[in-house]
Structure 1
Amino acid sequence: MENHTTVTEFILLGLSSDPQLQFLLFFVFWVIYLITLAANAVIMLVIKADSHLHTPMYFFLFYLSLIDICYSSAIVPKMLVNFLAAHKTISVNACFTQMFFMLFSGSCEISMLSAMAYDRYTAICKPLHYAGTMNKRVCRQLVGASWTMGVMHSLVNTVPVSKLHFCGPNEIEHFSCDLPHLLTLSCSRTFINKIALLFSAVILGFGTFLLTLISYIHIIFTILRIRSAEGRRKAFSTCSSHLIVVGLLYGAGFFQYMKPSSISSVTLDQVFSIQYSILTPMVNPIIYSLKNEEVKTALGRIFTKKKKCFSTDVNRVQL
């Protein structure tokens, strides 16, 4: 091992080596990133500004939007720089830092969605106990638990990887410092790292998925027992947005990690990585704003209030 040169930086090969295509990809992902930041920021501001949205469901949605901003910001800025850079390098420490925040954001995302599923289960299946069960203390504890699991999942995988030796090659066939790709470049034995990744991913991923699945099984049976069609529609409308988001995230994740090795390819891996790490943070606030009447109503109230304030200021200036 002493005869090898220690790697001080990695090369992110990205999505393409064609300069013209890279410029187009820069524009596309720059627009996606701006939409992600703006849409999630708007959701957070609306929830904070409108007292009608100070409920457990929107409390969780606020932090989900914050996590989506963190998730996208951990990947896209460096990705945009590399689209225009001649040397697409990232230092070893910066690579580990990016990997930490990617694992943290992804873990918090699925944990938060599980907490939101439990909130919908309590609201629909146990409405009489909802106010007492989902009080402010419980909501804060669920958010804190999500962040704690995210930190633990990140540390369990990042700390052992930081102790590995990298002596070359240093090219990552990806647009970010994805953990599985880093393990293939290590000159050290990575058996322990792979076991840690497998167990932490299975425990966290399967555990949160099982909680979400159980919650929605109870929700579906409860909705089916409602006699009126209008009552079923109203009950389902309160969780339809969350169900779409969960389906998109877990659908891409399961296909990514459960697909047969015969159809595995670098391009396919990159496509699904883009879907759940870059497109999902952009799509989430759009789904919640389009499918949720309360959010649209709150947006209307805020715009109306701002318009009245603007008209009043104009009239004062004219006077």
Structure 2
Amino acid sequence: MSNSSSIRHFLLLALADTWQLQLLHFCLFLGISLAALLGNSLIISAVACGHHLHSAMFFFLLNLALTDLGSILTTVPKAMHNSLWDTTTISYTGCAAQVFMFVFFISAEYFLLTVMCYDRYVSICKPLHYGTLLGSRACAHMAAAAWASGFINALLQTANTFSLPLCQGNSLGQFFCEVPQILKLSCSLSKIRELGIISVVSFLAFGCFVFIVFSYVQIFRAVLRIPSEQGGHKAFSTCLPHLAVVFLFVSTGTFAYLKPPSMSSPSLDLALSVLYSVVPPALNPLIYSLRNQELKAAVWTLITGRFRKH
């Protein structure tokens, strides 16, 4: 039996048993992370430099790109390092920092997706009040609230998780430090406080999900009443990318955390963790750019402008 005071490092899940497979995982993670870095950096640069993109929708999209960059940079570099150097260790302090940063960025992203849903609702269902309800100050306050909520959630989760005595060793069944995996190492009687905080956070997350569903019901009802086919197409083109990102984020994360124990296995847990922590940051820029002509034009102008300068 060991306690948290005697643990100086954790053992992460090895991605493969052979060097060749570890190198393959390294290359896959490198490709995905480079795609995420390129896509999100282009969106951030295009929105920041394109004066015609200084609207509420693109302001929130810029913040979403920042959370995607933060989340993938929190987990993937350490996994790539472990694969390349054939190790699975992470220090106790490094694990705590990784938990805090990952929960912070993931929580902020979920709250930003909720705020972006409100932006779509106001623009379609209450267009005459859009300037009043979503002015520059209101957008700044909502974005700040999303980031602050993510910070508070991460602080509470990290402080409570690492204050628990760990009695089940130091091996984590995941390629990065994750709260549920650390809870499996704690004493059974000491989990009540952490489970209480998780229940409160889950309730808030469910409330955001209900708000998103209710908003989109109202949005689709309003879109179906638009007489112009072009107007309905434009409304759908701005809503469908956001809805696709929400579905990808919520479905993979929910299944990863709430799947039945009978379905749990190291390979399935690894695949699900990659789906909700690594794949969305790489796909989100592509999803948002496919149907948004303004964003595509701004990104193309940014790229061609840079090439012309060189």
Shift of 1:111: 0.4
Per the alignment, residue 192 of structure 2 pairs with: 191
Q: Which amino acid aligns with 1:194?
A: L
* 1:284 aligned partner: 284
Q: Deviations over 1:242-298 (max 9, x none)?
A: 111111111212322333333232322221111111010010011112221111121
The one-letter code sitting in structure 2 at the alignment partner of 1:190 is K
**In 1, are the aligned partners of 2:2 and 2:166 still within 8 Å (CA)?**
no
1:97 aligns with 2:97: yes
Structure 2 residue runs without a partner (length 5+)? none
RMSD: 2.0
Retained in 1: the 8 A contact 2:47–2:53? Answer: yes
- 1:13–1:174: 8 Å Cα contact kept in structure 2? yes
SS in 1 for 2:11: strand
Distance 2:2 2:171 in 1: 21
Matching of residue 86 in structure 1 with residue 117 in structure 2: no
For the pair shown, which has the larger CA radius of gyration, 1 or 2? Answer: 1
Partners of 2:26 and 2:84 within 8 A in 1: yes
Q: Would you say the 8 A contact 1:75–1:98 is kept in 2?
A: yes
Gap runs ≥5 in structure 1: 311-319
| Cα distance between partner residues in 1 of 2:104 and 2:204 | 12
Change (3 A) 1:86 1:256: closer
Q: Distance in 2 between matches of 1:182 and 1:2?
A: 14
| CA displacement at 1:18 relative to structure 2 | 2.1
Match of 1:270 in 2: 270
Q: TM-score, normalized by length of structure 2?
A: 0.94
Deviation at 1:150, TM superposition (A): 0.5
TM-score computed with the length of structure 1 as normaliser: 0.91
Distance 1:198 1:19, change over 3 A: farther
| Post-superposition CA distance 1:197-221 (Å, at most 9, x none) | 2321x12321221221121111000
Give distance in 2, aligned partners of 1:13 and 1:240. Answer: 36
Provide the residue aligned with 1:206 in structure 2: 206
| Aligned counterparts of 1:86 and 1:309: Cα–Cα separation in 2 | 43
Shift of 1:303: 4.2
Measure the CA separation in 2 of the matches of 1:65 and 1:218.
Answer: 27
2:4·2:165 contact (CA, 8 Å) conserved in 1? no
Map of 1:28 onto structure 2: 28
How big is the shift at 1:308?
5.5
SS at match of 2:90: strand
Aligned-partner Cα distance in 2 for 1:197–1:4: 21
Deviations 1:172-197 (A, max 9, x none): 11101111111111247222112212
> CA 1:21 to 1:305, structure 2 compared with 1: closer, same or farther past 3 Å?
closer
Equivalenced residues, count = 309
Task: Check the 8 A contact 1:7/1:170 in 2, yes or no.
Answer: yes
The 3-state SS of whatever aligns with 2:87 is coil
Aligned partners of 2:267 and 2:258: how far apart in 1? 16
AA paired with 1:199? Answer: V
Decide whether aligned partners of structure 1 residues 198 and 15 sit closer, same or farther in structure 2, where only a CA change above 3 A counts: farther
In the TM superposition, residue 167 of structure 1 has moved relative to its aligned partner by: 5.1
* Aligned positions of 1:184-263 closer than 5 A: 184-187=184-187, 189-200=190-201, 202-263=202-263
How do residues 1-319 of structure 1 correspond to structure 2 at under 5 angstroms? 6-166=6-166, 168-187=168-187, 189-200=190-201, 202-306=202-306, 309=309
8 Å Cα contact 2:4/2:166 also seen in 1? no
8 Å contact kept, 1:5–1:167: no
Distance 1:18 1:212 in 2: 44
User: 1:120 & 1:31 partners in 2: Cα distance?
Assistant: 32
CA shift, 1:140, in A, is 0.6
CA distance in 2, matches of 1:87, 1:16: 11
Partner of 1:316: none
CA gap of 1:111–1:3, structure 2 versus 1, over 3 A, is: closer
Task: Give, in whole Å, the separation in 2 of the partners of 1:183 and 1:69.
Answer: 27
Residue 6 of structure 1 contacts residue 168 of structure 1 at CA under 8 Å; is this kept in 2? Answer: no
What secondary structure is seen at the aligned counterpart in 2 of 1:226?
A: coil
Tell me the residue number matched to 1:313. Answer: none
Preserved CA contact (<8 Å) 1:100 1:154: yes
- Alpha-carbon separation, structure 2, partners of 1:26 and 1:300: 30
Q: Provide the rounded CA distance (Å) in 1 between the counterparts of 2:148 and 2:231.
A: 37
**Is 2:3–2:166's contact at 8 Å kept on the other side of the alignment?**
no
Calculate percent identity across the aligned residue pairs. 39
Letter in 1 for 2:206: F
Preserved contact between residue 3 and residue 167 of structure 2 (Cα < 8 Å): no
Structure 2 vs 1, CA of residues 292 and 263 (structure 1 numbering), >3 Å: closer, same or farther? same
Range with bigger deviation, 296-305 or 276-285: 296-305
